[in-house]
Chains A and B, each alone.
Chain A
Amino acid sequence: MHRALSCLAAGILMMTPALTAPAAAQNAIPASQASRIERVVSPGGIEAWLVRQTHLPVLAVSFAFRGGSAQDLPGREGTANLMAALLDEGAGDLDSEAFNGRLQDRAIEVSFSASRDLFSGSLRTLTEHRAEALDLLRLALTRPRFDTAPLERMRQSVLASVRRASTNAGSIASDNFWATAFPGHPYGRRGAGTLDSVTAITAADLSALHRRLLARDHLKVAVVGDITAGELAPLLDMVFGSLPAKSELTPVPEAVIAGTGERRVIPLDVPQATISFGLPGLKRDDPDFIPAFVLNHILGGGGFSSRLYQEVREKRGLAYSVSSGLAAFDAAGLVTGGTSTRNDRAAESLAVITAELKRLGAEGPTELELEQAKRYLIGSWALRFETSTQIASNLIRLQLDDLQPDYLDRRNGLIEAVSLDDVRRVARRLFGDPKMLVVVVGKPEGM
């Protein structure tokens, strides 16, 4: 968010927009690095995956707990999101100002975030300040204060973003899409909450959620930087050891996207219509996930080659951005996508997208498309983990997907093994009779 804003503020236009979050299978580090992963287990039983790097005096730590905004209580939507904003706003004996002062004295960066299924965070510090940084992280994770003043301040900040989103075409499209796709289900709610729910959240709500989510049983940790396994092991206990052993997660019911076949048009006085679409997909543990991942690359994945990019943008000039992706949650799997397109040709854009899904479902990709997609996905392996922070978050993803470090060596083989029959089968399964939920925000003509 900040990065995107600062890019725009600095006045830089990119040829293609940043794509939506890639699917889970994209996250990993190349085989050449696999042997460098050390599984470190602390005396207290906390496991971390470590990649030792000594080229820069920087230490990066990533961690995640299962259970994110889907764990928010009804009427208190936005609790996990607000908790993420408050963990570094005072902890232990340090109030907000003192805590932030300690971070800034050493240029230590900490951040926390909540998604539907996860509460995650990261730390970055110069190696020489590692002890101070990890101690502050310990305080933030285990002894957050949720003091009244920072709570009100962060509440106001979240409310401002909720107000801003309330008239933003993309946010309206997204909110309506998820609310229609998952009525009455945690996935149908806004992660940031609503004006009413955010206003209702109390410090007791935050403490209760903190107690339920932040525990050792679903904790994943990854560390990249200049530290040995021997040095790291006791530090893991120091940071995470005093968290409760067990979380208290409410099971999230399995769900399938609802509203397929529906088209919702939400009027908004803007010169461009925003379209969100989705249909049933698959979860990460589905045997067809890898073929589906390759298939999605062909349909609307990254680069300039996808069918949607070619048909919607390149040939017809209908949009600047158009893409699709696999949304694989813990309790649901979807194929989602979207575009922003001129109002007077929004119907045409949607027709082109629909036609491409149908064509892919009926005929599958060509042999050449499959080969090109495989070459791209295999070759791009090495690019996905350049920085310490990227490596750390990728190692977290592997752990969350219940994969072992050897997946790094196996992964390209799995892509290579995808056959034309595989992608055609999955294309029929996903797009054989594509009934999409479509949400359009704007003043689209003819819809």
Chain B
Amino acid sequence: MPMTRRMFTTVLSALAAPALLPPAAVAAVPVERAYRHVLANGLEVVAIPDHRVPVVTHMLWYKVGSADEEPGKSGLAHFLEHLLFKGTTRNPAPVFSRAISAAGGQENAFTSYDYTGYFQRIAREQLPVMMDFEADRMTGLVLTDAVVLPERDVVLEERRQRIDNEPGARLGERMQARLWGETHPYGIPIIGFEHEIRQLNLDDAMAFYRRHYAPNNAILVVAGDVTADTVFRLAAETYGRMDANPRIADRTRPPAIGRATRERVRLADQRVRQPSLTHTHVVPSYRSARPGEAEALEVLSQVIGSSPNGAMYKTLVSDRQLAVSAGCFYAGSALGEGRFGIHAAPRPGVSIEALEAAMFEVAARVADAGVRDDEIARAKTRLIAESVYSQDSQASMARMYGAALTSGASMEDLQQWVERIRAVSREQINAMAPRAFDFSRAVTGELARAERS
């Protein structure tokens, strides 16, 4: 969820009530200092100094994700991410990992639709060494079948653990395909289809690597106990050695497939003991929205679905006692479009039909009546406070900047987010409500218990 500053903040489980109108509770919101510099080879470098502890978070983000794969090669971006730990000519495995571990550092990597990232959290003295290793890994990867094939098995186990073993995750995969389209890059799972993962090989990985891993297709984010000048100088000395790849082009994402009516995806499994229902549709992301639209969606989802006193939970769980949980979400950070949706899980004895009807009643009411000033003020207070809380973690800040910048945001977008949230008006929010809560062309996902055959 780039663009928004809310990426890795936790979801609060207890909030809300129509009481006093909250004042502008956060008068002076501290905004972190963040600095940007672009090297001659095109590498964007972002420094977020934070001198509380002698630690740095060093993250290299590539502007490539699963949505950049060729048809039939699903899972390749993620597979390559795993393979990047297999060593280079200069630093065969496990030299890099050993160096991190010897300093007590942590490392990991991650892949999403629009980006792939690698990071270390480590004592600040190690930053030059980490940069040297990571720069080396940008072009120096060496692979053999002896390491590629077992790692492919690891990825297949990861798929089983995350998706195949979990009915809810299997439903989510099908909903994405229906929502965006079977061949849309967001309709294909990040981890890949099992039959396509099985076919991925060393040559696929190296071709993808050479095509996408280059300084002018990456963003370096360093947060922690180091000055911006030092970060820029060290980056020039290490990453600055790499040549730009002239074939790197701007990325675009196709629109989602059109849909004239609501469509239903139902997954029935004997293991399901708690059914659930989700309605989701495509809305503007922070990147694709007109000014104010994404902020309006953010506030709407906060008002309606993020607290026990929001309309979804209050109506379905507290008042009518039809559901055990209910909420609303806006996934607004993507290079392409975003998603908006509502979800609920029925109490025992409540039919899916009754729950569905009640969900649509709430949606219709919000679409029709909009939200009130006091609700908006409260939601803004919450969103703005989260942006202060998130500054408590250098790793969270690095993630937020990296995810947003690889999804097309600018530094200004991030730093002015609080002001934009503050500025979005009730008129803008309520103008967005009918669109956000119109699920007539949504995809409905139903998780159900299968009858024994």
Contacts and interface: CB of A to CB of B under 8 A. Distances in A.
Nearest to B346: A160
B3 to A, nearest CB: 12
Interface residues of A, number: 93
Given A100-B307, A340-B165, A375-B102, A110 B271 contact: no
A367 interface: no
A100 B309 contact: yes
Interface string A306-331: 00000001111111110000000000
Q: Which 5 A-B pairs give the minimum distances between C-beta atoms?
A: A379-B104, A101-B17, A317-B153, A107-B385, A317-B150
Given A157-B324, A166-B273, A269-B271, A382 B53 contact: yes
Given A15-B85, A57-B388, A383-B55, A377 B161 contact: no
A296 B157 CA distance: 24
Contact of A375 (B101, B155, B191): B101
B20 interface: yes
30 contacts: A6-B8, A6-B10, A6-B11, A12-B111, A13-B78, A15-B81, A55-B52, A97-B17, A97-B308, A105-B378, A107-B25, A129-B25, A166-B273, A268-B271, A270-B165, A271-B160, A305-B98, A315-B150, A317-B151, A340-B157, A340-B165, A342-B157, A342-B160, A372-B102, A375-B103, A376-B101, A376-B102, A379-B103, A382-B55, A386-B395
Contacts of B30: 56-57
A53 interface: yes
Most-contacted residue by chain B among A13, A124, A153, A160 (CB, 10 A): A13
B16 interface: yes
Interface in B384-422: 384-386, 388-389, 391-395
Interface string B345-370: 10110000000000000000000000
Most-contacted residue by chain B among A88, A97, A107, A157 (CB, 10 A): A107
B381 A107 contact: yes
Nearest to B168: A164
A11 interface: yes
Contacts of A204: none
A3 interface: yes
B40 interface: no
Interface string A77-103: 000000000001100000011111111
B161 A383 contact: no
Contacts of A13: 78, 81, 110-112, 158, 162, 190-191
A100 B16 contact: yes
Interface in A340-363: 340-342
B16 A101 contact: yes
Contacts of B103: 375, 379
A302 interface: yes
A8 B169 contact: yes
A156 B309 contact: no
Contact of A58 (B123, B272, B389): B389
B243 interface: no
Contacts of B94: 304-305
A379 B123 CA distance: 8
A163 B8 CA distance: 28
Contact of A383 (B104, B309, B314): B104
A21 interface: no
Contact of A320 (B100, B109, B154, B270): B154
B14 A103 contact: yes
Interface of B: 1, 7-8, 10-20, 22, 25-26, 30, 52-55, 78, 81-82, 85, 94, 97-98, 100-113, 121-123, 149-158, 160-162, 164-166, 169, 172, 190-191, 270-274, 307-309, 314, 317-318, 321, 324-325, 329, 331, 345, 347-348, 378, 381-382, 384-386, 388-389, 391-395
A2 interface: yes
A109 B318 contact: no
Given A101-B17, A106-B25, A16 B108 contact: yes
Given A6-B11, A13-B191, A271-B165, 18 more contacts: A12-B112, A14-B109, A99-B17, A103-B15, A104-B378, A106-B25, A107-B381, A152-B321, A157-B325, A161-B274, A167-B273, A269-B270, A270-B164, A272-B161, A272-B165, A316-B150, A379-B103, A386-B395
A379 B105 contact: yes
Contact of B97 (A58, A149, A166, A305): A305
Interface string A267-292: 01111100000000000000000000
B104 A101 contact: no
A34 to B, nearest CB: 13
Contacts of A105: 19-20, 22, 25, 378, 381
B324 A380 contact: no
A68 interface: no
Interface of A: 2-3, 6-17, 30, 32-33, 53, 55-58, 88-89, 96-107, 109-111, 124, 126, 128-129, 149, 152-153, 156-157, 159-161, 163-164, 166-169, 268-272, 302-305, 313-321, 340-342, 372, 375-383, 385-389
Contacts of A304: 85, 94, 97, 101, 107
A258 B101 CA distance: 36
Contacts of B273: 163-164, 166-167
Contacts of B112: 10-13
A380 to B, nearest CB: 3
A33 B52 CA distance: 10
Contacts of B82: 15
Nearest to B379: A104
B14 A271 contact: no
B180 to A, nearest CB: 12
Contact of B54 (A3, A32, A109): A32
A378 B104 contact: yes
Nearest to B150: A317
Contacts of B169: 8
A385 B393 CA distance: 10
A13 B115 CA distance: 11
Contact of A272 (B155, B157, B325): B157
A319 B25 contact: no
Contacts of A3: 8, 10
A169 B82 CA distance: 25
Contacts of A33: 53
Given A271-B165, A314-B150, A167 B272 contact: yes
B19 A106 contact: no
A160 B389 contact: no
B104 A104 contact: no
Nearest to A313: B154
Most-contacted residue by chain A among B109, B151, B157, B165 (CB, 10 A): B157
A385 B392 CA distance: 11
B355 to A, nearest CB: 13
A167 B274 CA distance: 10
Contact of A305 (B7, B101, B108): B101
Contacts of B107: 303-304
B10 A317 contact: no
A316 B152 CA distance: 10
Contacts of A382: 53-55, 104, 123
Contacts of B166: 168
Given A30-B53, A315-B150, A376 B104 contact: yes
A362 B17 CA distance: 62
Contacts of B8: 3, 6-7
Contacts of B393: 386-387
B161 A104 contact: no
A101 B382 CA distance: 12
Nearest to A274: B165
B101 A372 contact: yes
Contact of A169 (B121, B165, B348): B165
Nearest to B383: A107
A163 B109 contact: no
Nearest to B306: A104
A382 B274 CA distance: 42
B331 A10 contact: yes
Contacts of A110: 14
